[in-house]
Structure 1
Amino acid sequence: MNEVNVDVAVIGAGTAGLAAYRAAIAAGRGAVIIEGGPYGTTCARVGCMPSKLLIAAAEAAHVTEKWDTFGIRLEGTVRVDGAAVMARIKRERDRFVGFVLKGVDNIPADHKLRGHAHFLDDHSLQVDDHTVVTFGRAVIATGSSPSIPPALKGAGDRLIVNDDVFDWDDLPSSVAVFGPGVIGLEIGQALHRLGVRTEVFGRGHFVGPFSDPALKAYATQTFGEEFPLFTDARVSSIERVGDGVRLMQDFDDGSSTVKDFDWVIAATGRAPNVKHLGLENTSVTLGANGVPEFDRTTMQCGSTGIFIAGDANNDVPLLHEAADEGRIAGENAARFPQVLPGLRREPIGVVFSDPQLATVGRRFADLVPDSFVTGEVSFEDQGRARVVLRNRGLLHVYAEKGSGRLLGCEMIGPDVEHLAHLLAWAMQSGMTVQR
């Protein structure tokens, strides 16, 4: 068994892990980074980048549908070459992953350990069956994995997760997407616009990231007018049949419908990769979901020298948050026990559907009733939006009663990513309705 002694051990070489490792090294500490899977971040390999490539192809196919209203006539038909669409997605995806791999290649070989790590105690890890790492501090940055409800398992080998979409060589003829959240809406709408017969199924009337009833209703109506969207579906059976999947959907009037699809895509959330880390061998306190309790300003788990960052902590699963958390965790691991709070951004999340969805700051459900007022703006008669035929949207901004301090926002509308960034800056600056 090999033995390694180091100041800081980082478990996971994704966005958070790389940021933590670099921060520890920059602080002058000795560090190793341990990875049991393929190098390359979730964002580059199966997340942000390939999904945006799919969306970009869908937007290119969809734009022609509005030409006639502008007086521009299209002779013939638009044909989507599914194989060419997927070839570009994979080609560009591999290019983005390559940038990450170059960064990993620049890490000295003796700072990298390959294998799955688990804790032996508060100051030692075992990596597979080949290495024991003794450390002063550790950063858990093991990311997350798709979570699949047991009810979908009847689809057999025709059940995939959203990550698997980007390995297709061609577009299928039909898909059933389960989960109308951030990922499900993006992928579902994109596939629909690329000519794939798509239906999206959810439970509990959830849609996107929204908690405001008015925004949920508006988004449900808007997307439901473009493709079949069932936000509280009752699917009584799913089975593998022939070359695809057959499901039975039940309705409130007592009727049922049988539907056949090529694939079932589970876009039903992600779970933190902490189950096999041996955290029970440490003195950290575990929450109900097995994730260590931690301080989100320092990333420290209790009073220990163990820190947790990125999707592994199940807090805010976004790229920029993972990078921030990794840096904070790495800096604090390097200076431990003198742990300091790091600067956290105003929460912001964007769904790159059309229209886009965004939340900034505190959502409606996070606010104390009667402590705030709501400002509302509709995009339906907004000049710029109507000029470009994208006048579907609704914005709710929440402000504290009395002080007028901006608290949060939920919105759907054309390119609201830009409004979201403006509001995030305003909230981080402590601005009010008056100034």
Structure 2
Amino acid sequence: MNANHVIETDVAIIGAGTAGMSAYRAALEHTPRVLVIERGVYGTTCARVGCMPSKLLIAAAEAAHAVAGAARFGVVAGPVAIDGRAVMARVRSERDRFVGFVVDAVQRWPAEHRLMGRARFVDDHTLLVGATQVRAQRIVIATGSRPDVPETWRAALGDRLIVNDDVFEWTDLPRSVAVVGAGVIGLELAQALHRLGVRVRLYGRTDRVGPLTDPALQALTRQVFAAELPLSTGLAQIEPRRDGDSVVVRATGHDGSVHEERFDWLLAATGRRPNIDQLGLEHTTLPLDADGIPLHDRRSAQVADHPVFIAGDVNEDRPLLHEAADEGRIAGDNAGRFPDVRMRPRRAPLAVVFSEPQIALAGASHAELSASGIAFETGRVSFEDQGRSRVMGRNQGALHVYGEVGTGRFLGAEMLGPAAEHIGHLLAWSVQRGDTVQQMLDSPFYHPVVEEGLRTALRQLQRALHMGPVPVERCLDCGPGT
């Protein structure tokens, strides 16, 4: 080890993203000797290339879609004209504003708390960052994740292959994009670009579109998005090749059918991989799982009994900003107070997809409940004839709610429909409080609102659980069209 400079610190945090920043603030409550090591630029994944710029693009798409659909309300708005340069100028400007807030916050930290460079473990307590050796009593790994793209595609397509990071550097909208990967990122971006006038096709190896696990809701999701977007899923092979300045995608179905289409770009939304492979963990005694991720307790973020903690997307647990922030606080607090490690309760799961209709999962998913062995029942509602949803012209999708047999405890929900981002929060809060289905039904429901559809599903669930008073099928307080 050739180190020209040595830094001694109590807590070293590798990564200055959402989890790393939260860990820094928490560790400072216990010691002023904290060092944050960042290999790239400051600014979180969310602010630079994730949740914020993608929602800016989606907001523009929603505006265009609203104008295009105004005629059904008797409002004639004229043909939609989309200025791609103006759309992307706003996306980049507002993105830079959000990133600026993050960068300013980090740059206000004392200079001795910041170190730029790639960190590699030398042993359990020592990191090498360029020519600097960092000796830390405790270490937090918060290195995040990156897009996972087949290397053969990179070699074949060159600069015609992009990831979501690249989209937000565009100065204009392209004419056509193949989006490969029908998960959250692929679905959001494909629909937004489609609504902004870009020719898009969304490809997926499996039949799944989005993250819902309830088989009935997953089938409905495919049906709803296939009605709007060119969609090719359940494919045996996806073979892109470059042809001049274009990409040709050859998609082969399991029945042997072949579809070829030419695009300007291929956007690979094929998942993300943790930034763990270049940390030199082989030089430590940390226990690793089959994927090379340090084995840890998610309630404490601690790796076995070592003075090492892990937080954020790098742990492949729940790659969401609020989860990364929570994990960072837990890891930083325990790193700061070590060896007095505390177990921290985690919040109820909540995930939202900002497609249209929106998607939300709150509490336990259908797949998790089915695997757990817990006896549960399901309540259902469709939004096709739900009053407020029809009024708004957003009457697509359905909501399934799950309750525990015997206790009536509300366990979770999956939803495709209007206002899912808001209803998902209400349901996650109920899960975290431990509400019963009856307690939820005892809460007020205004009329006319989309939440009346939730009440319908809860009433059906209560009947299926055989608990509490029998709800009236068409009650006086429901109002018309609920």
TM-score interval (norm. to shorter)? over 0.9
Superposed displacement of residue 171, structure 1: 0.7
Match of 1:424? 428
CA–CA separation in structure 1 for the residues paired with 2:348 and 2:42:
30
Match of 1:140 in 2: 141
Q: Work out the number of aligned pairs and report it.
A: 433
Q: Is the Cα contact below 8 Å between 1:23 and 1:330 reproduced in 2?
A: yes
1:236–1:325 Cα change, 3 Å: closer
Matched, 1:237 2:253: no
Corresponding residue to 2:412 among 408, 414, 432: 408
Aligned residues of 1:8 and 1:29 also touching (Cα < 8 A): no
Q: What's 1:379 paired with?
A: 383
Distance change (3 Å), C-alpha of 1:26 and 1:236: closer
8 A Cα contact 1:136 1:305, kept in partner = yes
Q: Tell me the residue number matched to 1:388.
A: 392
- Specify which of 176, 179, 183 is matched with residue 174 of structure 1: 176
Deviations 1:274-306 (A, max 9, x none): 101111222211011111010000000000000
Question: Unaligned regions of 5+ residues in structure 2, if any?
Answer: 440-482
Residue 249 of structure 1, CA deviation: 2.2
Gap change, CA 1:255 and 1:24, over 3 Å in 2: closer
Task: Identify the residue that residue 195 of structure 1 maps to in structure 2.
Answer: 197
The AA in structure 1 aligned to 2:427 is L
User: Aligned equivalents of 1:370 and 1:385: distance in 2?
Assistant: 33
Q: Secondary structure at the match of 2:437?
A: coil
Matches within 5 A, 1:195-234: 195-234=197-236
Residue identity matched to 1:80: I
Q: Decide whether the 8 Å contact of 1:235 with 1:247 is kept in 2.
A: no
Amino acid across the alignment from 1:293: L
Q: Which residue of 2 aligns with 1:162?
A: 164
RMSD of aligned Cα (Å): 1.3
Counterpart CA distance in 1 for 2:69 and 2:229 is 17
**Does 1:246 find its partner at 2:258?**
no
Question: SS of the residue aligned with 1:55?
Answer: helix
Q: How far did 1:399 drift? A: 1.1
Question: Aligned to 1:431, what secondary structure does the other structure show?
Answer: coil
CA distance in 2, matches of 1:315, 1:425: 20
Distance 1:105 1:19, change over 3 A: same
Post-superposition offset of 1:271: 0.6
Using the size of structure 2 for normalisation, the TM-score is 0.88
1:255-266 residue pairs with structure 2 within 5 A?
Answer: 255-266=257-268
1:261-280 Cα shifts (integer Å, max 9, x gaps):
01000111111101011112
- Correspondence for 1:14: 17
Report the CA distance between 1:133 and its aligned residue: 0.7
Asked if the contact 1:29/1:334 (under 8 Å) is kept, the reply is no
CA shift digits 1:415-435 (9 cap, x unpaired) = 111110000100000011122
Question: Aligned residue for 1:323?
Answer: 325
- Is the Cα–Cα contact under 8 Å of residues 237 and 253 in structure 2 kept in the other structure? no
Partner of 1:46: 49
> In the alignment, is the contact (CA less than 8 A) between 2:68 and 2:80 conserved in 1?
no
Structure exhibiting the larger radius of gyration computed from Cα positions = 2
Counterparts of 1:336-347 in structure 2, within 5 Å, are 336-347=338-349
**Cα deviation code 1:398-418 (max 9, x no counterpart):** 111111111111110011111
TM-superposed deviation, 1:343: 3.1
Could you say what secondary structure the match of 1:157 adopts? Answer: helix
Report the more deviating stretch, 234-243 or 182-191: 234-243
Q: 1:149: how far off?
A: 2.7
Which whole-Å CA distance do the structure 2 matches of 1:361 and 1:132 have between them? 44
Q: 2:64 aligns with which of 61, 64, 74?
A: 61
Percent of counterpart pairs with the same letter?
Answer: 57
SS in 1 for 2:168: helix
Residue 242 of structure 1, CA deviation: 1.9
Could you tell which deviates more after superposition, 370-379 or 37-46?
A: 370-379
Distance between the aligned counterparts of 1:381 and 1:208, measured in 2? Answer: 24
Name the aligned partner's letter for residue 127 of structure 2.
Answer: L
**Is residue 2:150 matched to residue 1:149?**
yes
Distance in 2 between the 1:115 and 1:307 partners?
20
Q: Distance in 2 between matches of 1:365 and 1:233?
A: 23
SS of 1:434's partner is: helix
State the TM-score, normalizing by the size of structure 1: 0.97
Runs of 4+ in structure 1 over 6 Å off? none
Paired residue type of 1:56: A
Whole-Å Cα distance in 2 between the matches of residues 264 and 329 of structure 1?
Answer: 38
Distance 1:138 1:32 in 2: 10
Q: What SS class does the counterpart of residue 85 from structure 2 fall into?
A: helix
- Paired with 1:318 and 1:258, the residues of 2 have a C-alpha distance of 35
Can you give the 5+ residue segments of structure 1 that lack an aligned partner in the other structure? none
8 Å contact 2:409–2:437 — kept in the other structure? Answer: yes
| 2:214 and 2:366 in contact (8 A); partners too | yes
Q: Which amino acid aligns with 1:217?
A: A
Q: Does 1:310 align with 2:315?
A: no
Residue 308 of structure 1, CA deviation: 0.2
Aligned to 1:355: 357
Alpha carbons 1:156, 1:239 under 8 Å: kept: no
Confirm or deny that 1:123 pairs with 2:120. Answer: no
CA gap of 1:227–1:355, structure 2 versus 1, over 3 A, is same
SS in 2 for 1:24: helix
Residues 264-303 of structure 1: pairs in structure 2 closer than 5 A: 264-303=266-305
